[in-house]
Structure 1
Amino acid sequence: MKKKEFDLIVFGATSFVGQILVQYLWKRHGMNGDVKWAIAGRDPGKLDLLKNRLGEQARELPTLIANANSEDELQTLCSKAKVIVSTVGPYALYGSPLVKVCAQTGTDYCDLTGEVQWIARMIEAHEETAKQSGARIVHCCGFDSIPSDLGVFFLQQSAKVQYGEPCQQIRMRVRKLKGEFSGGTVASMINVTREVAADRSLAKKLANPYLISPSRLAARQPNVKFAEFDPVAKSWLAPFVMAGINTRVVHRSNALQNYGYGKEFKYDEAMMTGNGLKGRLTAMGLAGGMAGFLIGAALPPTRWALEKFVVPKPGEGPSETSQQRGSYDLRFYGTTSKGNTLVAKVTGDMDPGYGSTGKMLGEAVVCLAKDNHEKAGGFWTPASLMGETLLARLQQHAGLRFELLPA
């Protein structure tokens, strides 16, 4: 195979998260280090401004011009790099041509989408092509869904060492989440409501926990939809907005690892709000707020008002200081078929949707480009393709910690 000019190309480098990713890669690898990389987008002027913000030495950082809708221009990108990392979202609106071209050309690809309906369409349309070309396609390399996917992977590996079997059920509980909501995430959620309004059958598909898994298993999956008390976490719970994508990714990881978590494996996610009356009222308030947002986003007049006056716009985001002040703390409560228990803690040192996501995506794309993964082409998940290697990178460089707690 002809040697590529670059290890990786950041496509959509001037988007808000794209800029965070580029800054992270610049600090980690510079221009003449162990990673050969370039930035790409459709606006040369914005790309030059981005390089100017990086400093004098970054002026020589290679720059490529490509439009997300031009397959010819995307073909040129793929001819130059081992991996393309895309921050061009919402992906259901702007991301499909690049996935198609990567699958056709055997170019590895990763992104930070949380749009499960779009992932399902991409798998259906391009997985056979990717298998034939050798392209490894890895969605969900940001806050959705690396902490969940690798958190489950870490706990399952630990359970097999300690007890000789995986956990039959894992409950992920968000203990702390500090950071601003991503404008891109909100835009993706609103786009899903548009798609559901246009195609009512999509709602049933989205409710399927095995939507992106190769086969549907018989295990009935728990799902926190309203306020409820969890005796395991000893806390009231509210629905977690990312559960709809994270749980689907975890189940696909299980399938792609030859059901290493078991065919009866159960997994769910929720937010902890504390015990007592205050915890209960907080859970009820969060559950009601989420339901209200989804109902509002589904109706054209209120959706317009939300987009115009309430939710952050794509491309908007917090200052670097605000990103530094953010953090998260996730707990994974596991139980094996024999009743043995394990608890894992996963933390991140920046706000989840921006600062931490930029670092996770940076380590994922370099891991995909530089580390040895003896896996064939196809649509993978972070855990099923990069597993232990990515786990080590995240802890060494990206500010994440994976640790066992007393059960």
Structure 2
Amino acid sequence: MSSTSPQYDLILYGATSFVGKIMVAYLASLDQRTLNWAVAARDESKLLALKDELKLDKIEHYVSQANDEKALATICEKTKVMVSTVGPYALYGETLVRVCAKSGTDYCDLTGEPQWIKAMLDKYEEEAKASGARLVNCAGFDSIPSDLGVYLSQSLAIEKTGAPAQQIKMRVRRLKGTASGGTVASLLNVLKEAGEDKTLRKQLVNPYLLCPADHSFSLRQTNHKSAEYDKHLKMWTMPFVMAAINERIVHRTNALLGNKYGKHFRYDEAMSAKNGGSAWMMTLGLGAFVAGASIGPIRRLLSQYVLPKPGEGPSPEQQQSGMFDMRFYAMLNNGETQVVQVKGDRDPGYGSTAKMLAQAALCLGKDVPELPGGFYTPAAAMAEPLIVRLREHAGVEVQVLGANT
């Protein structure tokens, strides 16, 4: 944290992005007597239009391009926490991370790009530790529900049996929401980079990619590539596209918490399906999309004519009607299967993500003053205080359902 007293609790950079606009409206709905915040973006005309639309004339705004280190440094001096919704982060995110790591300014984002997080860890983690900056990636739908769901499951397992669960399976039981152009752009960029770099392709299949270099994990992890029937849980499953980032964040949390989940912890994510037919149909559809989007000409055609573009996304009505329900099945060493649920009351990637990101930033700035500098996961940085904030202010419940639910 900067040695001077910052003017703001948080500044949102990327306020005119799709999820940024949702987050601005959410921040404006909070108790302004206990919150001091500002907005920033690359285009001042869009910022002014947004402020006018939401009647936020008293909220200060700042302008900077994503690669303007000097301007971003000036903005960072004014706040406890910088929040970034400017993606794809691999294209637009590095300069702000560098400025925060150098200046000691705390930082939160909602990236789901493991290759970019790995690059930022390699370049700036030591600088962040030295400056005192606390940087938290993946503070949205990827990967707060997964991270906190596993954290609570393991905390309860240790309390109940004296040892962590050696295996947890996360199954998405219900998911209602649509993708925005920004999320699609990030996914396409990962596929593009992986297609051009064999080394990156090898990195992306490593479940421990984001763990510290001295981690001691070597257990082979489950990788869901097709539809299958889980005899233990008695359900059909299919691949979950966000497992690629969520599983790596969970393993990093384990390492950052001193192997709290054990050195031989197994974790996997998948979506549940009504039956084998629907599981296979969805699996084949997802596989066809990824295969096509991995080929340059097809990817460009999809981006231009089929997929939503940056700035486009679900309507306010779709955000309101969206929801998610995720279950964490922990195999305890006493033979029981403990079930934890994480559920949200809005479209997961946008309505819920905006609220989760805002509360994560406030939690980082207000609730964990003793946390030293460095790069963190949501659970490793905030854990219980964040669970409380999400329940009270973000419509996200992290709770125990009991056994075999």
TM-score normalised according to structure 2 size: 0.96
Q: 1:121 aligns with which of 114, 119, 142?
A: 119
Question: Which residue does 1:180 correspond to in 2?
Answer: 178
For 2:149 and 2:353, the matched residues in 1 are separated by: 15
Give the drift of 1:109. 0.3
Give the drift of 1:392. 0.3
Q: Deviations over 1:222-273 (max 9, x none)?
A: 1111111112321111000000000000000000000101111110000000
Q: 1:391 aligns with which of 369, 387, 393?
A: 387
The amino acid across from 1:209 in the alignment is: P
For 2:197 and 2:223, the matched residues in 1 are separated by: 23
Question: Which residue does 1:63 correspond to in 2?
Answer: 61
Question: Which residue does 1:25 correspond to in 2?
Answer: 27
Q: In the alignment, is the contact (CA less than 8 A) between 2:18 and 2:180 conserved in 1? A: no
For 1:316 and 1:182, the matched residues in 2 are separated by: 6
Q: In the alignment, is the contact (CA less than 8 A) between 1:163 and 1:340 conserved in 2? A: no
For 1:372 and 1:204, the matched residues in 2 are separated by: 36
Q: In the alignment, is the contact (CA less than 8 A) between 2:161 and 2:333 conserved in 1? A: no
Question: Which residue does 2:87 correspond to in 1?
Answer: 89
Q: 1:297 aligns with which of 293, 297, 306?
A: 293
Unaligned runs of 5+ in 1: none
Question: Which residue does 2:231 correspond to in 1?
Answer: 231
For 1:295 and 1:97, the matched residues in 2 are separated by: 32
For 2:353 and 2:153, the matched residues in 1 are separated by: 21
Unaligned runs of 5+ in 2: none
Q: In the alignment, is the contact (CA less than 8 A) between 2:167 and 2:330 conserved in 1? A: yes
Q: 1:381 aligns with which of 377, 381, 386?
A: 377
Question: Which residue does 2:150 correspond to in 1?
Answer: 152
2:94 maps to 1:107: no
Give the drift of 1:164. 2.0
For 2:53 and 2:140, the matched residues in 1 are separated by: 24
Question: Which residue does 2:12 correspond to in 1?
Answer: 10
Q: In the alignment, is the contact (CA less than 8 A) between 2:207 and 2:248 conserved in 1? A: yes
Question: Which residue does 2:339 correspond to in 1?
Answer: 343
Question: Which residue does 1:309 correspond to in 2?
Answer: 305
For 2:361 and 2:201, the matched residues in 1 are separated by: 32
2:356 maps to 1:360: yes
Q: Deviations over 1:320-359 (max 9, x none)?
A: 1110100011010001234332111111000101100011
For 1:390 and 1:402, the matched residues in 2 are separated by: 10
For 1:332, what is the secondary structure of its paired residue?
Answer: strand
The amino acid across from 1:6 in the alignment is: Y
Question: Which residue does 1:37 correspond to in 2?
Answer: 37
The amino acid across from 1:244 in the alignment is: A
The 1:338/1:219 distance shift into structure 2, 3 A limit, reads: farther
Question: Which residue does 2:256 correspond to in 1?
Answer: 256
Q: In the alignment, is the contact (CA less than 8 A) between 2:182 and 2:310 conserved in 1? A: yes
Question: Which residue does 2:199 correspond to in 1?
Answer: 201
For 1:41 and 1:336, the matched residues in 2 are separated by: 47
Q: Deviations over 1:249-298 (max 9, x none)?
A: 00000000001011111100000002xxxx11111111111111111111
For 1:141 and 1:290, the matched residues in 2 are separated by: 25
Q: 2:316 aligns with which of 291, 315, 320?
A: 320
For 1:158 and 1:50, the matched residues in 2 are separated by: 44
For 1:208 and 1:337, the matched residues in 2 are separated by: 27
For 1:303, what is the secondary structure of its paired residue?
Answer: helix
Identity of aligned residues (%): 53
Q: In the alignment, is the contact (CA less than 8 A) between 1:82 and 1:369 conserved in 2? A: yes
Give the drift of 1:216. 5.2
Q: In the alignment, is the contact (CA less than 8 A) between 2:161 and 2:334 conserved in 1? A: no
Give the drift of 1:85. 0.1
The amino acid across from 1:299 in the alignment is: I
For 1:170 and 1:373, the matched residues in 2 are separated by: 31
The amino acid across from 2:21 in the alignment is: Q
Q: Deviations over 1:72-98 (max 9, x none)?
A: 111101111111000000000000100
The amino acid across from 2:300 in the alignment is: W
Stretch deviating more after TM superposition (6-15 or 365-374): 365-374
For 2:34, what is the secondary structure of its paired residue?
Answer: coil
The within-5 A match list for 1:38-53 is 38-53=38-53
For 1:390 and 1:154, the matched residues in 2 are separated by: 12
For 1:151 and 1:84, the matched residues in 2 are separated by: 25
For 1:372 and 1:173, the matched residues in 2 are separated by: 30
Q: In the alignment, is the contact (CA less than 8 A) between 1:111 and 1:138 conserved in 2? A: yes
For 1:218 and 1:15, the matched residues in 2 are separated by: 40
Number of residue pairs the alignment of both structures matches: 399
